[in-house]
Structure 1
């Protein structure tokens, strides 16, 4: 293994994201070979990296790429101390990271992967692929409101913006297709126009739709779907609706930053034990061949309902389900 930056090493173990790893480093909770590391430290597999005294280990997992039809009430965070987080909901035996952001109260399609580099690039390129939503707001919608929503909010005087497709579905309900290079912060746009979102459903991500994937279900992406997404995010960033900001300037963290909660002191695991607990570090253990699924064929599984999810992580492994959609 080549030397890599410490925050990437921590992210690759599945403990947390790079941004959360940077916070841990600033808090002095990370040690390398028993010493607090300097900024920019690089490490290899031979170095002993610990967080709050607990050793991190490189994962040995096959790449996993999932499409999840998220129910409302599930938080898109890897922090296991957060109630009804997506990791416990899926209970998938791999160190997954959600790609992008979908509000706890929203439902719809969300990508997850244990390929941290791909997940980071997909999140950074969040505005480079189309997204489609069905939105319900708290009061009657007008043609002027729909026009401003299609433009991504109220434009500056003289500013020209690329319009998104908007279709009125009812007195307080509409469908919108967010085009590449436009403002994808839909909740912020709607609230900026004096409305509140009552219900938000994401029905499409690029060319991915739910199809027969009911709410609460997940499936693995096919090799063709993965290749298509990788090609899409490799395109050059587009200018954002006539302004000087480019698509990469808008990220989900910019809209709704996630914070890492202060961790309680952890008791080091006893030698020889191999138990799976609610601590993120234990997600780095080597998974069985059943844990990853295939990128060339689809597997389907179902998440646990929010009311049935325990406070700590379930130790049972899910095997997915029928290979049919």
Structure 2
């Protein structure tokens, strides 16, 4: 690090937590700079010693992003009180946490990282990042249903209309959908609006990262060209 940065950004880029969580921990007095409790707006420069609780924070930590094939039943949280939390399930040797969520009953691709800034960029709704799913439902998929889904759906429970999206029939009772937002249980709610029930929901892509043939319950590290392409998309 060659210049000073705000303490919340420093913690985020060091992979400790998001900026929002950093602000919470600063308010709680969990964070110190050179032995003094940090306050909102403090900056960290070269040579400063930052502590997060009892942990010394270093910007030299290697950036890690994992593609995980989450099974149904695993919860996308780092909360230890949740016995089926994905952090314990993956059991990666470095501290990583999930980027966004994939609901407990769904399966497929979830990304995990130790880089707060990258997590923030991927999750920001205004960035319109694509996420692709294969959905199986309880009755035949019609062109009318797919067209209505793609045009945006009013969700009564959330009092909002979903963004337009891409849909494609891939089986008698299955379709592909590409979203650019991540509302709570969005696909399930959209289907329910047209009296369809989701039987199986699998995420197969986030941005340029594809699930591919990754075995369920395993992970792989994002490296090389895939990592470079991800960084380019996040910059865009």
Same fold (TM over 0.5): yes
Pairing partner for 1:165 from 140, 164, 167: 167
Distance 1:55 1:106, change over 3 A: same
SS of 2:102's partner is coil
User: 1:147 Cα deviation (Å)?
Assistant: 2.4
- Flag the 1:16–1:36 CA change in 2: closer, same or farther, 3 A: same
Aligned-pair CA distance for 1:120: 2.6
Native 8 Å contact 1:76 1:85 kept in 2: yes
Query: What residue in structure 1 maps to residue 200 of structure 2?
Result: 199
Residues 35 and 210 (structure 1 numbering): CA distance in 2 closer, same or farther, change over 3 Å? closer
Q: Distance in 1 between matches of 2:37 and 2:17?
A: 19
Task: Kindly report the root-mean-square deviation, in angstroms, between the aligned alpha carbons of the 2 structures.
Answer: 3.3
SS in 2 for 1:56: strand
Rate the CA distance shift 1:62–1:195 in 2: closer, same or farther, 3 A: same
Q: Distance in 2 between matches of 1:41 and 1:92?
A: 32
Q: Is the 8 A contact 1:71 1:107 kept in 2?
A: yes
1:213 corresponds in structure 2 to 214
User: 1:1-325 to 2 correspondence within 5 Å?
Assistant: 1=1, 2-44=3-45, 45-51=47-53, 54-58=54-58, 60-124=60-124, 128-137=128-137, 143-154=143-154, 162-167=164-169, 169-170=171-172, 173-178=173-178, 182-185=180-183, 187-188=185-186, 190-192=188-190, 193=193, 196-235=197-236
Superposed CA deviations along residues 3-26 of structure 1, whole A, max 9, x for unmatched, are 322223333444432222222233
Distance 1:127 1:169, change over 3 A: farther
**Aligned partners of 2:118 and 2:12: how far apart in 1?**
12
In structure 2, what is the Cα distance between the partners aligned to 1:126 and 1:138?
33
Give, in angstroms, the shift of residue 62 of structure 1: 2.8
Rounded to whole Å, the distance in 1 between the matches of 2:126 and 2:9 is 20
Instruction: Give the deviation of 1:139 after TM superposition.
Output: 6.3
How far residue 40 of structure 1 moved from its aligned partner, in angstroms, is 0.9
Q: RCO higher in 1 or 2 (8 Å CA, sep ≥ 6)?
A: 1
Distance 2:19 2:35 in 1: 21
How far is 1:215 from its partner? Answer: 0.7
Give how far 1:90 is off. 1.6
> Once the 2 structures are TM-superposed, how far is the Cα of residue 41 of structure 1 from its aligned partner?
1.3
TM value normalised by structure 1: 0.58
Name segments (4+ residues, structure 1) moved above 6 Å: none
After alignment, is 25-34 or 112-121 more displaced?
A: 25-34
For structure 2, the 5+ residue unaligned runs are 156-160
Question: Per-residue displacement from partner, 1:163-198 (whole Å, max 9, x unpaired)?
Answer: 51231634xx4222316xx44548325415165544
Number of residue pairs matched by the alignment: 225
From the two aligned structures, give the one with the greater strand fraction. 2
